[in-house]
Structure 1
Amino acid sequence: MEKSRLSVTYIGLLFIAGFFATMAFDFWGQVLSPSIGWANLSPEGLAQNLLSSIGLPSSAFLGFFVHFYIVGLIGYPMGWAYVFKPIWTLVVGPVHWFLASALYGVGLWVFAIGGVTTFSGLPPFLNFTGITWVALIGHVLYGIVLVAILRLITRRET
């Protein structure tokens, strides 16, 4: 039996899955990628730049807070649960979750690296430098881990 999508329990599950997905994203972008000679992701810098561009207070702490807590633990998981998953289920059905989660990650990448960067006054997709591709892998990894954790948690409850 699936939890109500508006219940405190389900929202808590989204938060937990977002935590693990954010940890995977950060581990990839700040540990693994630089250790193999690729770019080091600093997503809090993008969030900090966004805050500045819209006239809000900006600091390294606020950038980290926005990216980790607001986006990673709340925004992206809710985007999956309340936007992408219902559309996917309507169009494709409740199947192919690995593909769905990877495509969701690509969508997050387009939103963040294509949209937020441009809105913040940076070049779209950061001019397709090394960080762009590390971010693509990171966002796809985020989507896959998010959905895998959600599926793992909800299966244990059924």
Structure 2
Amino acid sequence: MSIATVTQNARIDVRTGTALVIAAVAALLAWEIFARAIAPAWIGGPLQPTGLAKSLFANVIGLPIGQTAAQAVHIATGVIAYPAAYFLVTRFKSLGWIADGAILGIVTWFFAIGIVAPASGLPFLLGMGAMMWAALVGHVVYGLVVAGGFTVARKRLS
């Protein structure tokens, strides 16, 4: 694959961008439903990505942020950053939407609780308890919805 081919494949036209945003919003909604409705029955409380964002800003940057700013960070990550990374990586090599989505989920999970959590002062992989597994399931659901939603939305928008 030449540089020109890679550049062409990585371009986002209106249809592709729209499909990616639709998939990302659906995926973030799926994550929120899992985190707030399913995880509490499993682990005794909701998953709190905004708490992680607040801890990160306070411990790494020394800047305390409020709930609204933490929610904005969470939304921007779920609707822009992770889907953009998914799109760019899968332009080079795709293993099919199911594998791509599962890999996206695992990578975002590890980033959140294997890198961001320790940087925020929390234990690596959140101490390897039930919350770690719930976060993994939630992130894999998110990844599958991004990849599957993007595949379906892109076809429907053509």
For this structure pair, what is the TM-score category when the shorter chain's length is used for normalisation? 0.7 to 0.9
Structure 1 unaligned blocks of 5 or more: 90-94
Query: Match for 1:28 among 31, 34, 41?
Result: 34
Equivalent residue, structure 1, for 2:157: 157
Q: CA deviation at 1:12?
A: 3.1
Q: Distance in 1 between matches of 2:57 and 2:110?
A: 19
Equivalent residue, structure 1, for 2:91: 86
Equivalent residue, structure 2, for 1:133: 133
Query: Aligned partner of 2:125: which letter?
Result: F
For residues 27-62 of structure 1, the C-alpha deviation after alignment (integer angstroms, 9 at most, x for no partner) is: 111101213455420111101111112123411111
Alignment of 1:115-130 (within 5 A): 115-130=115-130
Equivalent residues of 1:40, 1:131 under 8 A apart: no
- Given the superposition, is the C-alpha separation of residues 12 and 51 from structure 1 closer, same or farther in structure 2, using an over 3 Å criterion? farther
Equivalent residue, structure 2, for 1:92: none
- Given the superposition, is the C-alpha separation of residues 133 and 37 from structure 1 closer, same or farther in structure 2, using an over 3 Å criterion? closer
More relative contact order in 1 or in 2 (CA 8 Å, sep 6+)?
Answer: 2
Q: Distance in 2 between matches of 1:49 and 1:28?
A: 22
- Given the superposition, is the C-alpha separation of residues 58 and 110 from structure 1 closer, same or farther in structure 2, using an over 3 Å criterion? same
The size of the alignment, in residue pairs, is 149
TM-score (norm 1): 0.85
- Given the superposition, is the C-alpha separation of residues 37 and 103 from structure 1 closer, same or farther in structure 2, using an over 3 Å criterion? same
Which secondary structure does the structure 1 equivalent of 2:93 belong to?
helix
Structure 2 unaligned blocks of 5 or more: 1-8
Equivalent residue, structure 2, for 1:64: 71
Which secondary structure does the structure 1 equivalent of 2:62 belong to?
coil
Equivalent residues of 2:43, 2:134 under 8 A apart: no
Q: CA deviation at 1:76?
A: 0.8
Q: Distance in 2 between matches of 1:87 and 1:118?
A: 31
Which secondary structure does the structure 2 equivalent of 1:139 belong to?
helix
Which secondary structure does the structure 2 equivalent of 1:41 belong to?
coil
Query: Aligned partner of 2:153: which letter?
Result: I
Q: Distance in 1 between matches of 2:157 and 2:68?
A: 36
Q: CA deviation at 1:26?
A: 1.0
What's the RMSD between the two structures over aligned residues? Answer: 1.9
Equivalent residues of 1:39, 1:131 under 8 A apart: no
Identity between Structure 1 and Structure 2 (%) = 33
